[in-house]
Amino acid sequence: MIGLISATAAGARARERVAAAWPDRTRVYDGPVGDAVRRAFAECEQLVCFLATGAVVRLVAPLLTDKASDPGVVCVDEGGRFAVSLVGGHGGGANELARAVGELLGAEPVVTTATDSVSVPGLDTLGLPVEGDVAAVSRALLDGEPVVLEAEVPWPLPPLPVATSGPYAIRLTDRLAEPAAHEVVLRPPSLVVGVGASRGAPADEVLGLVEGALRDAGLSARSVAELATVDAKAGEPGIVEAAARLGVPLVTYSAEELAAVDVPNPSQAPLAAVGTPSVAEAAALVRGGELLVPKRKSAGQAGQPAMATCAVVRRPCRGRLAVVGLGPGARDLLTPRAKDELRRASVLVGLDQYVDQIRDLIRPGTRVLESGLGAEEERARTAVSEARLGRAVALIGSGDAGVYAMASPALAEASDDIDVVGVPGVTAALAAGAILGAPLGHDHVSISLSDLHTPWEVIERRVRAAAEADIVVTFYNPRSRGRDWQLPKALAILAEHREPTTPVGVVRNASRADESSRLTTLAGLDPATVDMMTVVTVGNTATREIAGRMVTPRGYRWQEEPN
Ligand code: SAH
């Protein structure tokens, strides 16, 4: 819950806008301000105070205890110009909240935590448990002092500006290890613990077994990603509670699936009880990985027979491939999600001219693998193989990366051992459509006129089909120096089914500095004015030029001409 506190009439108006926008997430605290702040601080995860920072500093200072648990506090000034992240920038989410409130009120978010302002990811924001001297190592990263990354297991970390030797270290490990001075230990969720239990096995027995197995193998419980068992034990209270106490999800598999897993220590007992010769080892190994602790049994409580088994597996690291569309060119048509993914990736793969488009957004420590036109296959392979090494990779493309672009060749290469995240981008047809008016108001297709990878007969058949079906057509790759007869040919096919006066929109470099566009007709278009930076949108038989704009009617009855 977000507590909202204000003192003045202007503050109350801004407060009401936030409350109206987020009715389920906010609560207004009325009454004397000091009292309201104290109540909200005790009851809410976050506060937005429409008060001077000085006043809020004085009020919250005595309430602060620990940055891990204190609420995040954002102040908005009387003029509504700034949303200041005051306390709890990372842990309390105040930086995020300042940005969200800023967006809502049209205020500038003010974020002063060092890692955010110089574009190094905060070590406590990586989503991994972290131990050790976070403050000292973060400061070293910021100050550009040498920080060494020792990754014992691969993991798709965001870029970190690291050195080969130096006094500071970041260790990525699932092994038990006390962080040394000037060291931070990050815990990747790399371990899966398979568990089996007889009916009624006590939670203490299950948990004691799991913790003992991890300790004896020198493994950290903070790297456990999940407990795994057979479907039949999904509701076994001892297992359910052990997972809850470890703070990890319980995942279950069918007996059939587990029976198919090759394990070192199968046995008869579970086969009779649940239909698979192994529960613990099979459930831990079912998604692959390295068996670190073979099946072991619990001690059994008070002389009773053992009621639980467990096994520990280090699962193969899944790299991350983000396929990111950069939009047509303008920075404000690059989505916030695309920006986040560019910052999230430690390896960036793309055509050099697209890398140039976003070079200022690349974080220090990012490996940039750029190549020239024509190296598509190599780019796709590189992106996938880097992800398969467990890295966080962003493969970029202009417009939408899935439209006549890199997503298809990359995903055709990719196996199911990596995670793939697609970020849609504004494709050229949409960018051009918005400039021209509303040409895509009814059914429309995109057709690429490049016969580099597609035989011309196929392209021609599709143009003809669109012509016959009276569909609005946007031509990508319409014309280049070596390919000049295709566009006139395609237009001639459309002209067999549409009037010479059919509106045609030509947009060059949509949303880029030298953007230009013009509206002409099927008969009037001069193909010589079209090049590879251009898309050409041809209307259907109902498309009209209205007040200088290209409009394809949606077909609403109320717009039919009265007779
Ligand atoms: N993935 C891109 C398309 C790549 S194919 C997208 O989704 O937009 C390359 C063709 O796209 C170019 O030949 C041109 O026809 C078109 N194109 C790309 N960006 C453009 C822009 N900003 N303005 C006009 N056309 C563009």
DSSP letter string over 438-454?
Answer: ETTSS-EEEEE---SSS
Which of 260, 285, 314 is a domain's end point? 314
**Is 197 in the same domain as 308?**
yes
Residue type, 480: S
What DSSP element (H or E) covers 410? helix 407-413
DSSP, collapsed to helix, strand or coil, labels residue 417 as coil
Q: Which of 152-166, 296-310, 376-390, 548-562 is least confident?
A: 548-562
Q: Which atom of ligand 1 is nearest to the CA of 512?
A: 22
pLDDT in tens, 178-206: 899 999 999 999 999 999 999 999 999 99
| Selection from 397, 353, 348, 398 nearest residue 372 by Cα | 353
Which of 399, 426, 453 is a domain's end point? 426
What DSSP element (H or E) covers 258? helix 255-259
- Provide the 10 A C-beta neighbour count for residue 63: 14
pLDDT at 122 over 90: no
pLDDT of residue 376: 84
Token pair in block for residue 307:
């009621």
DSSP state of 175: B
Cα dihedral: 275, 278, 283, 285 (round 10): -140
**Is 440 in the same domain as 421?**
no
Q: Which atom of ligand 1 is nearest to the CA of 405?
A: 1
What is the CA(345)–ligand 1 centre distance, in A? 24
pLDDT of residue 271: 87
| Residue 245, in any domain of the structure | yes
| Residue 561, in any domain of the structure | no
pLDDT at 139 over 90: no
Query: Do 36 and 53 meet the contact criterion of CB atoms below 8 Å apart?
Result: no
**Is 309 in the same domain as 257?**
yes
**Is 258 in the same domain as 278?**
yes
| Selection from 495, 413, 490 nearest residue 454 by Cα | 490
**Interior/surface letters 166-190, b for 16+ CB within 10 angstroms, e for the rest:** eebbbbbbbeebebeebbbbbbbbb
pLDDT of residue 242: 97
Query: Do 152 and 277 meet the contact criterion of CB atoms below 8 Å apart?
Result: no
Token pair in block for residue 487:
């566009």
**Is 177 in the same domain as 103?**
no
pLDDT of residue 42: 94
Could you give the CA distance from residue 103 to residue 48 in angstroms, rounded to a whole number? 14
pLDDT of residue 377: 87
Closest protein CA for atom 12 of ligand 1: 477
Residue 282, domain CATH = 3.30.420.180
Residue 185: alpha-carbon gap to chain centroid: 24
**Is 214 in the same domain as 301?**
yes
Phi-psi region of 97 (alpha: psi -120 to 50; beta: other; left: phi over 0): alpha
Helices and strands: H and E segment counts in the chain? 18, 28
Closest protein CA for atom 18 of ligand 1: 428
What is the CA(77)–ligand 1 centre distance, in A? 43
Closest protein CA for atom 4 of ligand 1: 404
pLDDT in tens, 154-174: 899 988 888 888 899 999 999
pLDDT at 26 over 70: yes
Can you tell me the mean pLDDT for 278-301?
93
* β-pairing verdict for 437-438 and 549-551: parallel
| Residue 446, in any domain of the structure | yes
| Residue 86, in any domain of the structure | yes
**Is 73 in the same domain as 138?**
no
**Is 327 in the same domain as 305?**
no
Q: Hey, which of 326, 398, 481, 532 would you mutate to test ligand 1's pocket, going by the most ligand atoms within 8 Å of its Cβ? A: 398
pLDDT: is 271 or 514 the higher one?
514
| Residue 118, in any domain of the structure | no
Q: Which atom of ligand 1 is nearest to the CA of 400?
A: 7
pLDDT in tens, 320-339: 999 999 999 999 999 999 99
What is the rounded average pLDDT for all residues in the chain?
Answer: 93
Query: Do 169 and 183 meet the contact criterion of CB atoms below 8 Å apart?
Result: yes
Could you give the CA distance from residue 543 to residue 17 in angstroms, rounded to a whole number? 41
Query: Do 147 and 161 meet the contact criterion of CB atoms below 8 Å apart?
Result: yes
pLDDT at 562 over 60: no
pLDDT in tens, 206-242: 999 999 999 999 999 999 999 999 999 999 999 999 9
- pLDDT confidence bin for 143, thresholds 50/70/90: confident
- pLDDT confidence bin for 560, thresholds 50/70/90: low
How far are the Cα atoms of 69, 143, 161, 253, 319 from residue 132, in angstroms, in the given order? 18, 19, 19, 36, 26
* β-pairing verdict for 2-6 and 319-325: unpaired
| Selection from 362, 415, 354 nearest residue 384 by Cα | 415
DSSP notation for 205-226: HHHHHHHHHHHHTTB-GGGEEE
pLDDT at 373 over 90: no
Phi-psi region of 515 (alpha: psi -120 to 50; beta: other; left: phi over 0): beta
**Is 370 in the same domain as 355?**
yes
**Interior/surface letters 337-369, b for 16+ CB within 10 angstroms, e for the rest:** ebbebbbbbbbbbbbeebbebbeebbbebbeeb
Q: Calculate helix-pair angle for 456-468, 486-495, nearest 10 degrees.
A: 30
What is the CA(454)–ligand 1 centre distance, in A? 17
What is the CA(431)–ligand 1 centre distance, in A? 9
What is the CA(541)–ligand 1 centre distance, in A? 25
What is the CA(339)–ligand 1 centre distance, in A? 20
How far are the Cα atoms of 8, 154, 350, 376 from residue 410, in angstroms, in the given order? 56, 21, 12, 9
pLDDT of residue 363: 87
What is the CA(448)–ligand 1 centre distance, in A? 10
Can you tell me the mean pLDDT for 351-373?
91
pTM of the shown model:
0.80
Residue type, 378: E
pLDDT of residue 117: 62
Q: Which atom of ligand 1 is nearest to the CA of 401?
A: 1
Q: Which residues line ligand 1 (CB under 6 A)?
A: 328-329, 397-400, 403-405, 427-428, 431-432, 476-478, 507-512, 532-535
Residue located via tokens 């008869």: 268
Can you tell me the mean pLDDT for 524-545?
96
Residues ≥6 apart with Cβ < 8 Å to 263: 277, 278, 281, 282, 285, 295
pLDDT: is 540 or 125 the higher one?
540
Range of the domain at 518: 429-551
Residue 472, domain CATH = 3.30.950.10
* β-pairing verdict for 544-546 and 503-508: unpaired
Closest protein CA for atom 20 of ligand 1: 428
Residue 325, domain CATH = 3.40.1010.10
What is the CA(492)–ligand 1 centre distance, in A? 23
Query: Do 193 and 314 meet the contact criterion of CB atoms below 8 Å apart?
Result: no
Query: Do 474 and 535 meet the contact criterion of CB atoms below 8 Å apart?
Result: yes
**Is 146 in the same domain as 76?**
no
Token pair in block for residue 556:
């609403």
Residue type, 154: P
Residues ≥6 apart with Cβ < 8 Å to 340: none
What is the CA(428)–ligand 1 centre distance, in A? 5
**Is 437 in the same domain as 540?**
yes
Token pair in block for residue 468:
């016959």
Which of 426, 459, 492 is a domain's end point? 426
| Residue 559, in any domain of the structure | no
| Residue 70, in any domain of the structure | yes
| Residue 560, in any domain of the structure | no
**Is 345 in the same domain as 408?**
yes
pLDDT of residue 118: 65
Total domain count, the chain: 5
